Amino acid sequence: MLTRKQHELLLFINRRLKATGVSPSFDEMKDAMGLKSKSGIHRLISALEERGFIRRLAHRARALEVVKLPEMAISPRAVSAGGANLGGNVVTADFRRHRRSDAPAEGSVEIPLHGRIAAGTPIEALENADSYLSLPPDMIGAGNHFALEISGNSMVEAGIFDGDTVVIKSGDTADSGDIVVALVDEQEATLKTLRKQGPQIALEPANQDHSTQVLPADRVRIQGKMVALFRRY
């Protein structure tokens, strides 16, 4: 099992390698992890290498190879818009998807899975759950929750990828900087970072290739904010 920082760094290196083919520098890793010195990065790299998740390539500067990723990665809190702060410790678990008529896993809570939501161009809002997820109760806390599968790549810099599943705590309020499900014109739902700008609402992607939507506040209704993310490898 990896610590939160080890997991964050591993995903950051993996994303950079996929995007550019070159591993990030120690300075870039330090900034991404919010650390004050490169010595902390050296310790994280060594720990990942010892656990077999990365390999240093000999005789090449800035040369790291991701050997494997965790079988399941979960963030018990919302991923930050910058993608570096996943929050909480990484855990592994057996998440079960089932129909309502099936019995949920023992000791778990059942939340509806509403289907796929765009992390790019908004899609038609989803109302009816066609399946359910069984999750550990201490993962999501109190309140009503639902899950959504992600479609699109506009939130990749926040560590949210196509095919991921996000857990949303239902509610009609959120703070600037929260990652939310926003319903636009009562028809289209999208997952974006919320920014309040006076009488307007900005729905901000985490991908420089996508544009921010700025809309009058009365056209946007918050349906909930993200509290967890998990991914199957």
C-alpha distances (whole Å) from 94 to each of 64, 120, 125, 142, 183 are 30, 29, 28, 21, 31
What are the boundaries of each domain within the chain?
Answer: 4-70, 96-232
Q: Which residue has the higher pLDDT, 65 or 62?
A: 65
* CATH code assigned to 4-70: 1.10.10.10
Residue 168 in this model has a pLDDT that exceeds 80: yes
Supply the pLDDT for residue 176: 94
Q: Catalytic site residue 101?
A: no
Q: Tell me the pLDDT band of 224, cut-offs 50, 70 and 90.
A: very high
Residue 74 in this model has a pLDDT that exceeds 70: no
Least-confidence region, from 107-116, 151-160, 199-208:
107-116
Residue 162 in this model has a pLDDT that exceeds 90: no
Catalytic residue among 75, 80, 134, 154: 154
Residue 181 in this model has a pLDDT that exceeds 90: yes
In DSSP terms, 75 is beta-bridged to 229
Residues 96-232: name the CATH superfamily.
Umud Fragment, subunit A (2.10.109.10)
Catalytic residue among 5, 30, 169, 192: 192
Cα-to-chain-centroid distance, residue 70: 15
C-alpha distances (whole Å) from 23 to each of 29, 46, 57, 70, 223 are 10, 15, 11, 19, 38
What pTM does this model have? 0.57
In DSSP terms, 123 is beta-bridged to 189
Q: Catalytic site residue 192?
A: yes
Q: Report whether 177 contacts 81 (CB < 8 A).
A: yes
